Amino acid sequence: MNKPDPQAIASAWMSQLSDPNHWQSWFRMMPDMNAMPGAALLRDAGAAIRPDALEALKNQYIAEFGALWQEFLAGRAPQVKDRRFAADAWTANPVSAFNAAAYLLNAKFLIAMADAVEASPHQKQKIRFAVQQLVDAMSPANFLATNPEAQQKLIETKGESLTKGLANMLADMRRGHISQSDEKAFEVGRNLATTEGQVVYENALFQLLQYKPLTARVRERPLLMVPPCINKYYILDLQPDNSLVRYAVEQGNTVFLVSWRNPDASLAQKGWDDYTEEGVIEAIRVTREISGADQLNTLGFCVGGTLLAAALAVLAARGQQPAASVTLLTTFLDFSDTGVLSVFVDEAQVALREQALGRGGIMPGRDLASTFSSLRPNDLVWNYVQSNYLKGNEPPPFDLLFWNADSTNLPGPMFCWYLRNTYLENNLKEPGKLTVAGEKIDLGAIDAPAFVYSSREDHIVPWQSAFASTAIMNPGRRERNRFVLGASGHIAGVINSPAKKKRSYWINDTPGIGVDGWLAGATEHPGSWWPEWAAFLAQHGGSEVKAPTKLGNATYKPIEPAPGRYVKEKAE
């Protein structure tokens, strides 16, 4: 029998990849791929690479594949530097090691081909995203037939791991999502969202929570927290040792918090104006009435920060300045660079959403969750496919991942307005460009110092985009603004309690400098950024007064204990 020619194998493989018919066959075999951003571009990507660039890639691939093949024939296990293949089972078997190494080589050149496609920057980003999704899905670690760890466990457990894996998969199919945490271990109100307080107001969109003071004296100006409406608020109040809400209360703040309703058909007509007027502005009004304070410290997280800024700009247009300070956590005000999320936003995709939902309807929470999971598929999808289904493991309890799976719907009109006017057209930052709640708004008219926080590895709000808020807020007095950069990502960077003594953060209080100058001159500090924020709140919180002994007031009496009903409602 003739030995296989590695050069012939590599040459044939590269010829396939450069053939548009090859990509079209992939999409016929995997119909779900057709809905992926960049799918239409990817189907024809092979025809959009310059012949000389393709020839260079082909020659490089042939050389590297040949070297890998020679290692395999010599009985040497190739070096595989990827945590998906770090277990001994991959290197103990030469065939498994070769499969992993060949996969990584193929993935490397698929990405290189995507980068070589002649297209606009946005089209290239979408093509690269689609290729990455395909590459991640085809890892040999994702299939029982090519995963030696799963095969080894199958033998060791005499088939029990496969039985458990199938049971896990069927259970997740009933739930409608892949389990990332032991969901039986947590319950909102029992061991999550347990900071003591009361619901002191509610309408169709939100409940307003007021928390019981934990200090004898408090700052006269309360703190109003506006979480994102695309997630449950209790990310800010997970457990006592990692609760930003509890920390703020412990620092002597009277804390109020917006708990958004999980929209159903009754809210299908609600738009951005409603969330601004009936949501944030109403929460500001009630908080001022209960506390008796003219001004509040305010905080917005992610989309909650965008809503908060819009609401304060509406009030500024009406001649009101209720904010003594504004804290923005991982928030977009300038949507010039939205990172990888931009692959989901172009005129065609937004128009389709508007046609389907713009006049009424519900954007399902499961669709939003799938979108965010696709940004980190190896961490948030395939890792759990391998562990839960192929190996039959039960996911361990993890409060943050339990929260991540607790999806929230959005009203279609609100979602469509947000997509078009922020991600697509970037209108929010332009003074007078948008009319919100009947007012032409200018974010620069908000007269309040700003504390802007971002996370260095944030894949949802790139930190440079969050930094841009420091030029939008207080444009003539940028020295009033502070920017703090934390380690880790969009959620883990925010939820970094001082008690954990983890990670670090960077500060640079030189006013009016650009993003590159800020980073070059920033100083790294170990631990949590929360004490920096607590000092900012104290600076703008006014004098100390006796802590209130009752929550609410004569007009706004307690309705039910925190966390309230709204946060427990599940997305359909």
Query: According to the per-residue pLDDT averaged within each range, which of 255-264, 372-381, 505-514 is highest?
Result: 255-264
Tens digits of residue pLDDT in 177-190: 899 999 899 999 99
How do the residues of the chain divide into helix, strand and coil, expressed in percent and rounded to 5? 50, 15, 35
Which sign, positive or negative, has the C-alpha torsion 191, 196, 202, 205?
negative
Q: What residue ranges do the domains of the chain occupy?
A: 6-150, 157-186+365-406, 197-362+407-493+528-568
Structure tokens that stand for 415 in this block: 């979602």
Structure tokens that stand for 291 in this block: 């506390």
Res. 403 pLDDT band, cuts 50 70 90: very high
Asked whether the beta carbons of 409 and 264 are under 8 A apart, the reply is yes
* Cα–Cα separations (whole angstroms), residue 559 to 2, 187, 213: 81, 21, 18
How high is the pLDDT of residue 476? 85
Q: Which residues of 450-480 are buried (b: 16+ CB within 10 A; e: fewer)?
A: bbbbbbbebebbbbbbbbbbbbbbbeeebee
Alpha-carbon dihedral 19, 23, 26, 32, rounded to 10 degrees: -170
Count of Cβ atoms closer than 10 Å to residue 82 Cβ:
15
Instruction: List the single range of 53-57, 290-294, 463-467 with lowest mean pLDDT.
Output: 53-57
Q: What is the mean pLDDT of residues 392-398?
A: 95
Q: What is the mean pLDDT of residues 357-380?
A: 91
Neighbouring residues of 98: CB distance < 8 A, sequence distance ≥ 6: 68, 72, 77, 78
Asked whether the beta carbons of 313 and 306 are under 8 A apart, the reply is no
Q: Examine the pLDDT at 28 and tell me if it is beyond 80.
A: no
Give the residue with greater pLDDT, 126 vs 435: 435
Res. 5 pLDDT band, cuts 50 70 90: low
Which sign, positive or negative, has the C-alpha torsion 34, 38, 41, 45?
negative
Neighbouring residues of 567: CB distance < 8 A, sequence distance ≥ 6: 188, 193, 207, 232, 233, 234, 259
Tens digits of residue pLDDT in 432-473: 999 999 999 999 999 999 999 999 999 999 999 999 999 999
**Crossing angle for the helix pair 94-116 and 121-137, nearest 10 degrees?**
170
From the candidates 36, 218, 248, 302, which is the catalytic residue? 302
Q: What is the mean pLDDT of residues 144-168?
A: 94
Report the SS3 class of residue 286: helix
Tell me if the bond preceding 563 is cis, omega within 30° of 0: yes
Report the SS3 class of residue 171: helix
Q: Examine the pLDDT at 43 and tell me if it is beyond 60.
A: no
How high is the pLDDT of residue 13? 46
Asked whether the beta carbons of 227 and 279 are under 8 A apart, the reply is no
User: Concatenated DSSP letters for 239-291?
Assistant: SGGG-HHHHHHHTT--EEEEEE----GGGTT--HHHIIIIIIIHHHHHHHHHH
Q: Examine the pLDDT at 80 and tell me if it is beyond 80.
A: yes
Please count the helices (runs of H) and the strands (runs of E) in the chain. Answer: 23, 17
Quote the percentage of the chain above a pLDDT of 70: 92
Report the SS3 class of residue 188: strand
φ and ψ of 571, to 5 deg: -70, 135
Q: Examine the pLDDT at 212 and tell me if it is beyond 90.
A: yes
Res. 412 pLDDT band, cuts 50 70 90: very high
Residue 507's Cβ-count burial label (10 Å; 0-12, 13-18, 19+) is middle
pTM, 2 dp: 0.90
How high is the pLDDT of residue 8? 57
Residue 331's Cβ-count burial label (10 Å; 0-12, 13-18, 19+) is buried
How high is the pLDDT of residue 276? 98
How high is the pLDDT of residue 196? 98
Identify the DSSP state of 478. G
Report the SS3 class of residue 435: strand
Asked whether the beta carbons of 289 and 553 are under 8 A apart, the reply is yes
How many whole angstroms separate alpha carbon 340 and alpha carbon 124?
Answer: 12
Q: Which CATH superfamily is domain 197-362+407-493+528-568 in?
A: Alpha/Beta hydrolase fold, catalytic domain (3.40.50.1820)
Tens digits of residue pLDDT in 223-254: 999 999 999 999 999 999 999 999 999 999 99
How many whole angstroms separate alpha carbon 420 and alpha carbon 426?
Answer: 8
Structure tokens that stand for 280 in this block: 């944030």
Q: Examine the pLDDT at 424 and tell me if it is beyond 70.
A: yes
Tens digits of residue pLDDT in 134-152: 899 999 999 999 999 999 9
Asked whether the beta carbons of 381 and 143 are under 8 A apart, the reply is no
Residue type (1 letter), 524: E
Quote the percentage of the chain above a pLDDT of 90: 75
Instruction: List the single range of 22-26, 298-302, 408-412 with lowest mean pLDDT.
Output: 22-26
Q: What is the mean pLDDT of residues 513-527?
A: 96
Residue carrying the six token digits 């660079």:
337
Tens digits of residue pLDDT in 521-568: 999 999 999 999 999 999 999 999 999 999 999 999 999 999 999 999
Res. 375 pLDDT band, cuts 50 70 90: confident
Res. 7 pLDDT band, cuts 50 70 90: low
How many whole angstroms separate alpha carbon 442 and alpha carbon 321?
Answer: 13
Structure tokens that stand for 37 in this block: 């951003």
How many whole angstroms separate alpha carbon 197 and alpha carbon 200?
Answer: 9
Question: Would residue 229 show up in a list of annotated catalytic residues for this protein?
Answer: no
- The alpha carbon of 525 is separated from its chain's Cα centroid by a whole number of angstroms, namely 25
User: Concatenated DSSP letters for 288-356?
Assistant: HHHH--S-EEEEEETHHHHHHHHHHHHHHHTT---EEEEEEES--S--S--GGGGGG-SHHHHHHHHHH
The partner residues of 210 in beta bridges, in order of sequence, read 198, 256
Residue carrying the six token digits 């940004």:
375
* Cα–Cα separations (whole angstroms), residue 334 to 280, 448, 461: 20, 18, 10
Q: Report the candidate in 558, 556, 557, 559 with the shortest Cα–Cα distance to residue 289.
A: 556
Count of Cβ atoms closer than 10 Å to residue 558 Cβ:
15
The partner residues of 212 in beta bridges, in order of sequence, read none
Res. 85 pLDDT band, cuts 50 70 90: very high
Mean pLDDT for the chain overall: 90
How many whole angstroms separate alpha carbon 162 and alpha carbon 388?
Answer: 10
Q: What is the mean pLDDT of residues 408-423?
A: 97
* Start-end of H helices in 117-260: 121-137, 148-156, 160-175, 244-250
Measured distance between the N- and C-terminal CA atoms of the chain, rounded to whole angstroms:
60
Q: Examine the pLDDT at 42 and tell me if it is beyond 80.
A: no
Residue type (1 letter), 167: A
